[in-house]
Amino acid sequence: MRLPSFIRPLPTLLGVAGCLVSLLGFHATPSIAEKKGERVYSFNDQGELIQPQGYREWIYVGTPVTPNELNNGKAAFPEFHNVYIHPDHFKKWKKTGAFPDGTILMKELVSVGSKQAVSGAGYFMGEFIGLEATIKDSKRFKSEPGNWAYFSFTQEGKKPTKTTKAMPADKCNFCHQAFAKDDWVFTQYYPVLRAAKPGR
């Protein structure tokens, strides 16, 4: 298409302006859920958490690994734990250094696939073998310590499920309450969250 000569530079100018706007950070529009203060997760009529989807595209924060070999052959959470936080809540953490009401983190367990690669001996990820979640919700979980509830979609000896009830506090919450660095979350093992925390 031929444009009149005086507006020919316009597309380029608009492009440059667009880039500048993104560079200055003005493109960071809040998601719809964040704007309305809505929850990004949902529960069914039985009060069970519906397995969140798309979490592998959230913000990845770290991968602790507790292999059986280093735990007398019986690690409580064997192998790799890939941890993700929803982008809306990461954004708030980055700004305030706190986890907002409605925060959700997912932890996906991955088996140790191989212990040898061209780079040397070590632990290399195998298959996805488990999925857990934690949610901070002051309305739904007002009686849970810190308002955090814990969920496991995969429990030993049982088939994985698409929905699951919150675990009793004495199974999960107590350990997070006692040992996690920031508000029930083990940020001491998540370099991405540590690096993003303001005032560090």
Q: Which of 83, 95, 86 is nearest to 31 (CA)?
A: 86
Pairing of strands 49-50, 163-164: antiparallel
| 75 phi, psi to nearest 5 deg | -65, 140
**How many CA atoms are closer than 13 Å to the CA of 51, on its beta-carbon side?**
15
Q: Is the Cβ of residue 64 or residue 97 nearer to ligand HEC in the bound state?
A: 64
Using CB under 6 A as the binding rule, whether residue 129 contacts ligand HEC is answered as no
Indicate which single residue of 89, 91, 92, 176 sits in contact with ligand HEC (rule: CB under 6 A). Answer: 176
Contacts of 4 (CB under 8 A, 6+ apart): none
| Rounded Cα distance, 100 and 8, in Å | 48
Indicate which single residue of 40, 133, 193, 196 sits in contact with ligand HEC (rule: CB under 6 A). Answer: 133
Q: Contacts with ligand HEC in 40-79 (CB under 6 A)?
A: 64, 77
Stretch that binds ligand HEC, among 9-17, 25-33, 52-60, 148-156 (CB under 6 A): 148-156
Q: Contacts with ligand HEC in 78-97 (CB under 6 A)?
A: 81, 83
Residues that bind ligand HEC (CB under 6 A): 64, 77, 81, 83, 105, 107, 132-134, 150-152, 167, 171-172, 175-176, 180, 185-186, 189
